[in-house]
Amino acid sequence: MLIHIPDVLTAEALTKCRTILEAAPWADGRITAGTQSAQVKNNRQLPEDTPESDALRAIVLEHLNRNALFLSAALPRRIFPPLFNRYEGAANAFGNHIDNAVRICAATGERVRTDLSATLFLSDPDDYDGGELVIEDTYGAHAVKLAAGDMVLYPGSSLHRVEPVTRGARVASFFWMESMVRETERRRLLFEMDMAILELRETQGDSAPTVNLTGCYHNLLRMWAEV
């Protein structure tokens, strides 16, 4: 399930991020790559232990934690501290790979199971050519190139890549989540049910069917959630 989450960052937050990124100490992107990924990863990345990373993470997490669509789709239990990458020039692509099943937070040693992956775009799509995030699933390959401030959420088990950037620079934040509901299909069902409840509340208010469906949602979440 691929979910486009628009306007995760406000215009003001984007401006703050870009100001910080202008002076960022970029390093080889392979610093966080696994054995297989390192063979196909060719980009730049902001080291995790810099003041710039700390400031950027705080902005991204603040906005994620108040985004209702993200919270409904991901049902996050743990969020790996957001990372930041840059594709341009000779360091411009990331070949086919699947993310590691478990990531270890450098600062805390905490382990996060990567049920979901996310890319939050920080560059305007008109500012660069190429750079599409291509995600493969049972329905084929999906090329994603979103407006700055928008995010795509997709299963961490997906094969994916970033196409070569042939003009300009593509800058983004990427990270993973461990969901309270581990199984993809259960998360999908809960998300679709939650969206239906929201639509019912808008059209019918808190009618008896709406309240009953809301109860079913929470009972399923109670049955499936790990907290």
The predicted pLDDT at position 1 comes to 85
Report field, pTM of the whole predicted structure over 0.85:
yes
Q: How is the chain split into domains, by residue range? A: 3-179, 184-224
Q: C-alpha angle with apex 46: 58 to 102, nearest 5 degrees?
A: 75
We find that the CATH architecture of domain 184-224 is Irregular (4.10)
Contact 150, 121 (CB under 8 A): yes
Distance CA(171)–CA(14), nearest Å, equals 12
- % of the chain residues with pLDDT over 90: 87
CATH 3.40.50.2300 fits 3-179, yes or no: no
Distance CA(150)–CA(119), nearest Å, equals 9
Angle between helices 51-64 and 11-22 (to 10 degrees): 170
What are the residues whose beta carbons fall under 8 Å from the beta carbon of 208, sequence distance 6 or more? Answer: none
- Two tokens, residue 183: 């199984």
pLDDT in tens, 53-97: 999 999 999 999 999 999 999 999 999 999 999 999 998 899 999
Phi, psi of 43 (to 5 degrees): -150, -175
pLDDT in tens, 98-107: 999 999 998 8
DSSP state of 163: P
pLDDT at 138 over 90: no
